[in-house]
Amino acid sequence: MLVLADAIDQMNRAIASVVRWLALIMVLVQFCIVIGRYVFGHNSIAAQESVLYMHATLFMLGAGFTLLVDKHVRVDVFYAKVSDAARRRIDIFGHIFLLMPSMTALLYWSWPSVRNSWRILEGPISVGGIEAVFLLKTLIPAFCILILLQSLSILIRMFHKGPKA
């Protein structure tokens, strides 16, 4: 099972190593949009939408890595004040009863919209925009699957270590 966890971790690391460059590209494209608009009086809807696409891709595909390195948002009302054993129980409960069911539900309920978007090759958000909304919507199930897999990897490692004394 640890081999599976290692493979999932490596996959999310590889995806993150690629999508992290979107942050830099996004800044550069946005800079060019601003210069084009305010210096040259030229505006491009497709360029503006490309920033939205890159932003969505960065966060949706990078979420699994964020979970892997434990940098996700955590509601820390009492988590920091409890023992390591209690934190482990909270984490296990959260993964099994909150995170995995919510990702499964999101995957299930978003799939018809994604499928229909691919069926019609859904066009741009705005006139003159990128003609690939179907790709943007595909990020939703990809996000769910990456989070589910990373959650499984974390659970495998938690159960492999066994309860801490």
Q: Give the DSSP per-residue string, the chain.
A: -HHHHHHHHHHHHHHHHHHTHHHHHHHHHHHHHHHHHHTS----HHHHHHHHHHHHHHHHHHHHHHHHTT-S----SSGGGS-HHHHHHHHHHIIIIIIHHHHHHHHHHHHHHHHHHHHHT---SSTTS-S-HHHHHHHHHHHHHHHHHHHHHHHHHHHHH----
Do the Cβ atoms of 15 and 64 come closer than 8 Å?
yes
How many distinct structural domains can be found in the chain? Answer: 1
* pLDDT confidence of residue 74: 77
Mean pLDDT across the chain? 95
pTM of the full structure: 0.92
Radius of gyration of the chain (CA): 20
- State which residues form the domain around 63: 2-161
Residue 96: which pLDDT band, with cuts at 50, 70 and 90? very high
pLDDT > 90 fraction of the chain, expressed in percent and rounded? 90
